[in-house]
Structure 1
Amino acid sequence: MSAEERRESVIRAAITEFARGGYSGTSTEVIARRVGVSQPYLFRLFPSKRAIFLAAAARCLEDTGRLFREAAENAPPGGVPAAMGAAYQDMIERDREKLLMQMQMYVAVASAEASGDHEFGHPIREGWQQLRDTIHLALGADEDETAGFLAEGMLMNTLVCLGYPAGHPMWAGHCKD
């Protein structure tokens, strides 16, 4: 396997492990073990745990943005919000770790900010801004529709992470049951 292929393996493994354990609760040892490499090799691919986390966060945001762009491009006229919402729901059902990674990004940035590290969140905020802009443009640059779409998505994230099953009354009037 080439270094670039190993790097990709590390990013995928990091998404899984950070999604489950968060930034503070995930060791580079567990990521290296999942990939099948030594920690020294892991640090030849990435200079630090922080760099691994930021690469995983960037990939997660990029993949979500691509998902929304593709859904919007393939949507029937007037059906962009529904197509993007359905694509996101499908992602949650088939790749829940990306949803959990998103939530862990928010926690990691808040924790870093609280401890005085204001640089940690910068690349994540930039990635999130790009994701928001992707959604905004796909929705015809309508501020209210963008805000509503993002709010509905965060509600979905929260309900899924809290373990509310489809059909539970908490989903009533929101998203697809």
Structure 2
Amino acid sequence: MSAEERRESVIRAAVTEFSRGGYHGTSTEAIAKRVGVSQPYLFRLFPGKQAIFLEASRRCCRDVTEVFRRASEGLEGEAATKAMGEAYQALIADDPEKLLMQMQMYVAVAAAEAAGDRAFGEALRAEWMEMYDVANLAMGADVNETTQFLAYGMLVNVLVSMGFQPEHRVWAGFYEEVQPR
């Protein structure tokens, strides 16, 4: 494998490991083991654990952004909103690690900010804003619609990450187009 292919393997493994254990609960040893490399090799690819977490988080944000972009292509307004919601549901049903990584990312940014590290949060806020802008443009730059869409999405994230099954009454308030699978 080339260094770039190995780097890609590390990012995928990091998403898996960090989504389960969070930033502080995941060791670089676990990531290296999952990839099949030594820790020293891992640190030749990335300068440290935070850089690995940052790349895993960026990947997660970019994947969600791309799902929104593809789903809304050629659509506008309500049709784009519905298509993005359905595509996001499919993404988290097929790859729940993406959802859990998002949740870990939010916690890690809050912890970094509390410790005085604004740069980490700034990098991830930029990725999140790209996702926001893609959704917002697809909805005709309607800030209220975008806010509602993302608020429902965050509620979906919380309910799914807490393990509420689709038939649970907590889902009853969702519109048909945002019902979980």
Q: TM-score, normalised by structure 2?
A: 0.94
Question: Which amino acid is the alignment partner of residue 131 of structure 1?
Answer: M
Q: CA deviation at 1:45?
A: 0.6
Question: Which amino acid is the alignment partner of residue 31 of structure 1?
Answer: I
Question: Which amino acid is the alignment partner of residue 179 of structure 2?
Answer: K
Question: Which amino acid is the alignment partner of residue 37 of structure 2?
Answer: V
- Corresponding residue SS for 1:47: coil
Equivalence for 1:172? 172
Equivalence for 1:33? 33
Quick one: distance in 1 between partners of 2:125 and 2:79?
28
Question: Which amino acid is the alignment partner of residue 110 of structure 1?
Answer: A
Equivalence for 1:128? 128
Equivalence for 1:96? 96
User: Aligned runs of 1:25-174 on 2, under 5 Å?
Assistant: 25-73=25-73, 75=75, 78-174=78-174
Question: Does the alignment pair 1:14 with 2:8?
Answer: no
Quick one: distance in 1 between partners of 2:156 and 2:82?
14
Quick one: distance in 2 between partners of 1:25 and 1:77?
41
Quick one: distance in 2 between partners of 1:76 and 1:114?
39
Quick one: distance in 2 between partners of 1:162 and 1:10?
27
Quick one: distance in 1 between partners of 2:9 and 2:129?
26
Deviation readout 1:109-155 (Å, 9 max, x if unpaired): 11111122222211011111111111111111001100000000000
Quick one: distance in 2 between partners of 1:112 and 1:38?
27
Q: Is the 8 A contact 2:136 2:142 kept in 1?
A: yes
Q: CA deviation at 1:75?
A: 4.7
Quick one: distance in 1 between partners of 2:74 and 2:82?
11
Q: 1:66 to 1:93 in 2, by over 3 A?
A: same
Question: Which amino acid is the alignment partner of residue 140 of structure 1?
Answer: G
Q: TM-score, normalised by structure 1?
A: 0.96
**4+ runs of 1 displaced by more than 3 Å?**
74-78
Quick one: distance in 1 between partners of 2:33 and 2:2?
18
Quick one: distance in 1 between partners of 2:25 and 2:52?
14
Q: Is the 8 A contact 2:78 2:139 kept in 1?
A: no
Length, aligned pairs only: 177
| Runs of at least 5 residues in structure 2 that lack an aligned partner in the other structure | none
Identity %: 61
The RMSD of aligned alpha carbons is 1.3
Q: CA deviation at 1:74?
A: 5.7
- Corresponding residue SS for 1:62: helix
